[in-house]
Amino acid sequence: MYAQDSFEKVNKIANLVKEQGGTAYFVGGFVRDRLLEKENKDIDIEVHGISPDTLEKILDSVGNRMEIGKSFGVYSLCGTNIDIAMPRKETATGTGHRDFKIDVEPFIGTQNAARRRDFTINSIMQDILTGEIVDHFGGQKDLREGILRHVNSDSFSEDPLRVLRAAQFAARFNLEIAPETLALCKGIDISTLSSERVLEELKKALLKAEKPSVFFETLKKMNKLSPWFSEVEKLIGVPQSTIYHKEGDVYTHTMMVLDEAAKMQNTAQEPFYFMLSALVHDFGKINSTSFYNGNYHATGHEEAGVFIAGEFLRKITNESALISYVLNMTALHTKPRMIVDDNSSVKASNKMFDTSENPRDLIKLSLCDGLGKIPRKPIAHAEAFLIKRLEIYNEYMARPYVTGQDLINAGMSPGKEFSELLSYAHKMRLAGIMKETALSMVMAEARKK
């Protein structure tokens, strides 16, 4: 599970620490995941009972030491997945997980060191050399019983990021949040968090949880969907067609789609972008849902969703590729199923795929949209139909086609008319017309102008 070379270095460090009178422990998520028999490639160790200078000399003798934060007592070894820290105390001096006063205190003991951890399941320590578990706050019991409980009320409240961490841990490890922890989270202001930290926790929830819906359900229980996920909150209570969506409101449908998408994300070409698309795909229903002809309809919600999803995405990221992909998926998410249901022409499916930034992921999103509802839409026929159509599209795109150079060779000069003719030529390409014929048609069109 872990590189043998890393463990050899860890054991060497632990033995050298012992020679100097100290003790090295596995800590944090590494111990938690070990107990859960889950893979965690990042090895975190904490060294007690020696000075920072002594630790630095030990690390220098084992490998190429890198200082992640020397004043914080945090180091790593280049070329390894090992992070080494010293016990420390953190005191908040600002807001929003931004400013902390950090004091390295190598001799405070394991209980005081573990007290600064966020949750009991992350406060468990393990002696590297003896394997002895050191568990001052009942983390193993909480882990067995599936409970997420904070360690220290005062320090927990100093860091608003822990509210989002609680939600993503609940989702990733299928944990129930202890009532006292839930109550504590309700009183913490998360509006001052940086968008980067929010995105980081959201990414873990979407990519590492079997049911990412638990992340949002947990925030809902905490009354913490706003401000960062206010668009998700607005889906609550938005009605849907009682014929096609017997599961309930748009929020319920979105959570079901999100969990279906989690099952397919490993086969998506852009897993995180794909999961975000599943989250925002029906944001447009917030503004476009109306009641007429005896039922609820959300006509035009795809286009409406592009604007709302764009506002949401720009709150948490400025990554242009991510935003472009998700908005494109939002605009197109209903088209694949319409193509299947209408048995549309190859020309129509080619036009859809040509508009899509990622046709394969678009197909998957459409399938998840159909599965995340009651009654579920069968996907076998739709998937086979769309994959076949995508193969046709790719085959058409692989054929020779009319280029700008072809028009120049025919005596034309670049300009507005030139661009219009190239657009016309592309339509011929999507229709499957061979290059020679398409070029003749384009030149005939040019003579009309």
In a domain, 399, yes or no: no
Indicate whether 220 and 242 sit together in one domain. Answer: no
Indicate whether 218 and 233 sit together in one domain. Answer: no
pTM for the model: 0.91
Indicate whether 8 and 84 sit together in one domain. Answer: yes
In a domain, 150, yes or no: no
Q: What pLDDT, on a 0 to 100 scale, did the predictor assign at position 201? A: 98
Q: Where are the alpha helices (DSSP H) in 247-379?
A: 250-264, 271-280, 285-288, 301-316, 320-332, 335-341, 346-355, 359-371
Indicate whether 122 and 233 sit together in one domain. Answer: no
Indicate whether 47 and 134 sit together in one domain. Answer: yes
Q: What pLDDT, on a 0 to 100 scale, did the predictor assign at position 70? A: 58
Indicate whether 207 and 245 sit together in one domain. Answer: no
In a domain, 153, yes or no: no
Indicate whether 310 and 327 sit together in one domain. Answer: yes
Distance from C-alpha of 207 to C-alpha of 210, rounded to nearest angstrom = 8
Q: Supply the DSSP symbol for 149.
A: -
**Which structure tokens are listed for 428?**
């011929």
Single out the residue in 224, 252, 268 at which a domain terminates: 224
The CATH number of whichever domain residue 41 belongs to comes to 3.30.460.10
Q: Supply the DSSP symbol for 357.
A: S
Indicate whether 96 and 179 sit together in one domain. Answer: no
In a domain, 435, yes or no: yes
In a domain, 212, yes or no: yes
Q: Supply the DSSP symbol for 398.
A: H
In the chain, helix, strand, coil percent, each to 5? 55, 10, 35
Q: Where are the alpha helices (DSSP H) in 174-249?
A: 179-186, 195-208, 213-222, 230-234
Q: What pLDDT, on a 0 to 100 scale, did the predictor assign at position 1? A: 43
- Mean pLDDT per 10-residue run, the chain (449 residues)? 77 97 97 92 95 96 85 86 89 55 88 95 98 98 98 93 98 97 97 97 98 98 97 97 94 98 97 98 97 94 98 98 98 98 96 98 98 94 98 97 92 86 94 94 86
Q: For residue 122, give the nearest of 103, 140, 146, 96 by alpha carbon.
A: 140
Indicate whether 32 and 132 sit together in one domain. Answer: yes
In a domain, 149, yes or no: no
Range of the structural domain that residue 244 is part of: 229-393
In a domain, 202, yes or no: yes
In a domain, 91, yes or no: yes
Indicate whether 260 and 386 sit together in one domain. Answer: yes
Q: What pLDDT, on a 0 to 100 scale, did the predictor assign at position 384? A: 98
In 37-124, the DSSP E strands lie at 43-48, 65-69, 74-77, 82-85, 88-92, 100-104
Domain count, the chain: 4
Single out the residue in 174, 193, 224 at which a domain terminates: 224
Q: Check the CA dihedral 8-14-19-20 and report its sign.
A: positive
Indicate whether 337 and 238 sit together in one domain. Answer: yes
Q: What pLDDT, on a 0 to 100 scale, did the predictor assign at position 446? A: 85
Indicate whether 58 and 192 sit together in one domain. Answer: no
